[in-house]
Amino acid sequence: MTRWTPTDYNPDDFANRRHIGPSPAEMAEMLKAVGADSLDALIGQTVPAAIRQDSALDWPALSEAALLERMRQVAAKNRVMTSLIGQGYYGTVTPPAIQRNILENPAWYTAYTPYQPEIAQGRLEALLNFQTMVADLTGLPVANASLLDEATAAAEAMAMARRQSKSKADAFFVAHDLHPQTIAVIETRAAPLGIRIVKASIDDLQADQVFGAIFQYPGTYGHIRDLTPEITALHAAGALAVVATDLLALCLLKEPGAMGADIAVGSAQRFGVPMGYGGPHAAFMSCRDELKRAMPGRIVGVSIDAKGNKAYRLSLQTREQHIRREKATSNVCTAQALLAVMASFYAVFHGPVGLRAIAQRVHLHAVTIAETLRAAGAEVAPDAFFDTITVKVGVGQAGILAAAQHRGINLRRVGRDRVGISVDETTDADVITRLLDAFGITDAPAPAQAPAIPEALLRGTDYLTHPVFHMNRAESEMMRYMRRLSDRDLALDRAMIPLGSCTMKLNAAAEMMPITWPEFGALHPFAPADQAAGYAEAIADLTDKLCRITGYDAFSMQPNSGAQGEYAGLLTIAAYHKSRGEDRDVCLIPVSAHGTNPASAQMAGMKVVVVKSAPNGDIDLEDFADKAAKAGDKLAAVMITYPSTHGVFEDTVRDVCRITHEHGGQVYIDGANMNALVGLVKPGEIGGDVSHLNLHKTFAIPHGGGGPGMGPIGVKAHLAPFLPGDPQSGDGAVSAAPYGSASILLISWAYCLMMGGAGLTQATRVAILNANYIASRLAGAYPILFMGNRGRVAHECIIDTRPFADHGVTVDDIAKRLIDNGFHAPTMSWPVAGTLMVEPTESETKAEIDRFITAMLAIRAEITEVAEGRIPADQSPLRHAPHTVEDLIADWDRAYSREQGCFPPGAFRVDKYWPPVGRVDNAYGDRNLVCTCPPLESYAEAAE
């Protein structure tokens, strides 16, 4: 008898052995619990047959090794040059300690937005450092925790200025020397809001004719000037001043706050974040204290926990779009938290002295180049600059550009007779030698000694004075600081994050690796196209696969967040209607829609009409038909989420699409729940005209603690001509770079390649199985809302905790108690107040899902104890959660045991997660807003 036993295990089957959590045997157990004979049977009971796609996704899967080989081949098609193009993007050196311990560390890149502050204290501290850095360098007291890119931040600042200005003017002044892509995005944002853009030289500013103005400092061609007179004039007219600026330049230059600026914006890219062919990069915004409640984006603030200890949290959340809906002034959803963290650590790593040294070196290199060119007879402008100059080369422009490229250097084409040169941190003697050689200068240049910055424009104030920026910068100390912060957080590398609608699935290491390769990371977004052939191939193939997945005919990869995808999609619809001579501006949105939907519609110039929900959570079809008929020829669009935000496949989706089209409107299907559709349903085939896809959800880009994200939009053929245009030439651009945050598109491409068509489909099927398994296991203990017509949920389920409020137990109590079990809470109070929406994703193993179920059942038992009067709610472990190590070792006088409080069922014993703070006092943080690093004495005071 042979001992040889064949096995069907395939170690190269990434989809089923690496990405999808449950094994076939575990799936069989789960199906039994669910009451389905097979996975096919469950899908048949869940997804309406009438909308199922006919053809399977059929491309083959690659193994991890084959993927990395394919990526190497594609990367080799990119040509990495020294790009001195500038225009807001610069070469930078990412300290290896930051690359390895932040960018490549799943403890940082798999975390979620820090809405549960007790398990996000590390991220929140790093983001507070970012805010402090920005506030210090710009000279304005309040900064947010990042925006999408500099151009978007500038557009947000314009909208903010309009809201806060005392001027009655309808025009916004844009200095002609702003970066072109910033002007393009500002113009896109202004048009639907009825804002008139006045683009002119700063010297032609008429302050009494505008509600605000934006200046670039330093200008896109290098000019620096004191903007105090212009800002003073604006203030006299009741208008606001926005300064788009450069953090490295501000290490040497007079800060915008010292000139009286109201708002400052810019990009933190050159603080250690690779160019990545356009992103992702953390934009910043800071403002005067009086404007802080009008500032978009997230603001990290300092509060206290239940014991009075210092604790960080997101402050002033009532400003955000998910609460204000169509009254929101911005639809900002995704920030760039991971990149903001990198930039903040870059400042911690170098400190103020190091940053000043880098800035001085950059500046003197630029001066050396300018002086050498002038000595050779060239006409160089401007006289005063930081890192950027232009050289007049006349009809020889093409020849100079070609000569520089021949020497491995990209220069900027400026007009017809100039070239631009922007020096950066990576510039060294060799780069300068090659650059000058392109101009025919072969003699070694004399290094500049004196700055080209007027004395009046040199910075006279200190910055980064907080002790965190004065740490011992030995790598051992830096490494430990990064580790301490990450240890305070609960990310996907520790436990399941069962957030409904957020799809916190596996972000595989093999998918992440290529983004740090220089062939992808070191490309300038405006480099010549022939240097980015690898990117072109990757983006084209990803586009093809997304079209096959969705049933759409074309994609724009430009939107760099889901909310921006919504906005871009609605602008595309608006442009289509306008091209047909139709004046349509009504957008129907169900009451259950994502919070960003109404905000995006408002920003696109549309009027929001809310549609009711039926008792079972579906769209109220009668109310929808009535409101569509009333809108008539004014109906522009309907925005729906499918499966619905309530987590069910509505049978009426085709009816909604048909009614919309009968009235001439377009159907926008929000792609947030695409994780329940891939391989089963194509939104473009069930009536959708446009959808955005959250690549940071369904397609495996990590959430990064609140960003990066990508929200490309797919459209049917008739909308394709109206997709966002090139940011360098305007024409409807929504992001600063042509392909948004291009480098992270590689992650989704890798995901599609390794999963293959069949693997993607199986992932969807298992996501639906996992959600139904949780719903089935918890149904006896908790009410499950919106089970669908066949008693099934889609890929997420809503647990109703409202009945427990009668006994004094809140949804907050349950969420905080889950922290004791080592879990991030599900999505709280959305889309239904007082509920928890759970999405396990396909990546979670049965063991981890069972651990979550065990935790939820134990919490239910504690609720029963309260309900039956055995313990008052305010004395129960639910109300005292989460429990810290301090609780464990302190004198214990509670009505329950230490064991029950600190080691509830489901919690690990050896690998127990301990939150660093107790329950955070949200109201205190808003009443006493502190959003820069507090002095160390305050920590000591809190501890006493």
Which is nearest to 400 in space by CA: 380, 420, 385? Answer: 420
Angle of helix 24-34 versus helix 846-867 axis, rounded to 10:
30
Q: What is the pLDDT of residue 596?
A: 83
174: which 2 tokens?
């844009």
d(CA 788, CA 650): 7
- What is the dihedral sign for C-alpha 288, 294, 296, 300? positive
At 555-604, the pLDDT tens digits run: 999 999 999 999 999 999 999 999 999 999 999 999 877 778 888 999 99
Strand, coil or helix: what is 275?
coil
Mean pLDDT of 390-403: 97
Mean pLDDT of 899-913: 95
d(CA 676, CA 763): 9
d(CA 437, CA 443): 9
Q: What is the pLDDT of residue 835?
A: 95
Place of tokens 């760039």: 336
- Would you give the distance in Å from CA 427 to the centre of its chain? 30
Q: Where are the alpha helices (DSSP H) in 51-149?
A: 64-75, 96-98, 106-109, 121-138
27: which 2 tokens?
């799936």
Please check the confidence at residue 778 and state whether its pLDDT lies above 60: yes
pLDDT level of residue 922 (50, 70, 90 thresholds): confident
d(CA 496, CA 549): 27
Q: Where are the beta strands (DSSP E) in 535-675?
A: 554-556, 586-590, 607-611, 635-641, 666-670
Q: Which amino acid is at 54?
A: D
Residue 199, beta-bridge partner list: 174
Instruction: Tell me the CA distances in angstroms from 110 to 135, 169, 467, 767, 891, one per residue in order.
Output: 27, 45, 28, 19, 36
- Would you give the distance in Å from CA 824 to the centre of its chain? 19
Q: Which amino acid is at 606?
A: M
Query: Strands across the sheet with 379-381, in order?
Result: 379-381, 388-392, 418-422, 412-414
Looking only at the bridges linking them, the beta strands covering 142-143 and 412-414 are unpaired
Helix (H) or strand (E) holding 346: helix 337-375
Q: Where are the beta strands (DSSP E) in 832-897?
A: 835-838
At 402-418, the pLDDT tens digits run: 999 999 999 999 999 99
Q: What is the pLDDT of residue 591?
A: 86
Q: What is the pLDDT of residue 934?
A: 64
Say if residues 423 and 366 touch (Cβ distance below 8 Å).
yes
d(CA 822, CA 906): 8
- Would you give the distance in Å from CA 735 to the centre of its chain? 13
Q: Where are the beta strands (DSSP E) in 510-558?
A: 554-556
Helix (H) or strand (E) holding 441: none
Say if residues 151 and 735 touch (Cβ distance below 8 Å).
yes
Mean pLDDT of 146-151: 96
d(CA 183, CA 176): 8
Which is nearest to 665 in space by CA: 582, 581, 761? Answer: 582
Which is nearest to 915 in space by CA: 806, 824, 838, 802? Answer: 824
Q: What angle do CA 252, 345, 823 make, to 5 degrees?
A: 150
d(CA 200, CA 230): 13
904: which 2 tokens?
């509830």
Q: What is the pLDDT of residue 942?
A: 40
Per-residue burial over 103-131, b = 16 or more CB atoms within 10 Å of its CB, e = otherwise = bebbbbbbbbbbbbbbbbbbbbbbbbbbb
| DSSP calls for 450-504 | S-SS-GGGB--S----SGGGGS---HHHHHHHHHHHHHTB--TTTS---BTTT--
Mean pLDDT of 15-31: 97
- What is the dihedral sign for C-alpha 243, 249, 254, 257? positive
At 644-697, the pLDDT tens digits run: 888 889 999 999 999 999 999 999 999 999 999 999 999 999 999 999 999 999
At 783-800, the pLDDT tens digits run: 999 887 788 999 999 999
d(CA 165, CA 109): 38
Residue 556, beta-bridge partner list: 713
Q: What is the pLDDT of residue 351?
A: 97
- For 541: left if phi > 0, alpha if psi spans -120 to 50, otherwise beta; the answer is alpha
Mean pLDDT, the chain, as a whole number?
A: 95
At 814-860, the pLDDT tens digits run: 999 999 999 999 999 888 889 999 999 999 999 999 999 999 999 99
At 289-327, the pLDDT tens digits run: 999 989 999 999 999 999 999 999 998 765 455 555 556
Angle of helix 811-820 versus helix 846-867 axis, rounded to 10:
130
At 40-81, the pLDDT tens digits run: 999 999 999 999 999 999 999 999 999 999 999 999 999 999
Say if residues 231 and 260 touch (Cβ distance below 8 Å).
yes
Q: What is the pLDDT of residue 931?
A: 67
Looking only at the bridges linking them, the beta strands covering 635-641 and 586-590 are parallel
d(CA 766, CA 278): 35
- For 841: left if phi > 0, alpha if psi spans -120 to 50, otherwise beta; the answer is left
CB atoms under 10 Å from CB of 74, counted, come to 21
Strand, coil or helix: what is 359?
helix
d(CA 359, CA 158): 29
pLDDT level of residue 9 (50, 70, 90 thresholds): confident
Q: What angle do CA 726, 727, 733 make, to 5 degrees?
A: 85
Q: What is the pLDDT of residue 941?
A: 44
Q: What is the pLDDT of residue 943?
A: 37
Q: What is the pLDDT of residue 939?
A: 38
Q: Where are the beta strands (DSSP E) in 649-788?
A: 666-670, 690-692, 713-715, 784-785
Place of tokens 């955000």: 320
d(CA 472, CA 355): 15
- What is the dihedral sign for C-alpha 642, 645, 647, 649? negative
- Would you give the distance in Å from CA 550 to the centre of its chain? 23
CB atoms under 10 Å from CB of 196, counted, come to 12
Q: What angle do CA 136, 138, 141 make, to 5 degrees?
A: 60
- For 230: left if phi > 0, alpha if psi spans -120 to 50, otherwise beta; the answer is alpha
Q: With helix as H, strand as E and coil as C, how does 202-220 read?
A: HHHCCHHHCCEEEEEECCC
Q: What is the pLDDT of residue 133?
A: 98
d(CA 2, CA 840): 43
Say if residues 578 and 636 touch (Cβ distance below 8 Å).
no
Per-residue burial over 536-553, b = 16 or more CB atoms within 10 Å of its CB, e = otherwise = eebbebbbebbbbbbbbe
Say if residues 571 and 721 touch (Cβ distance below 8 Å).
no
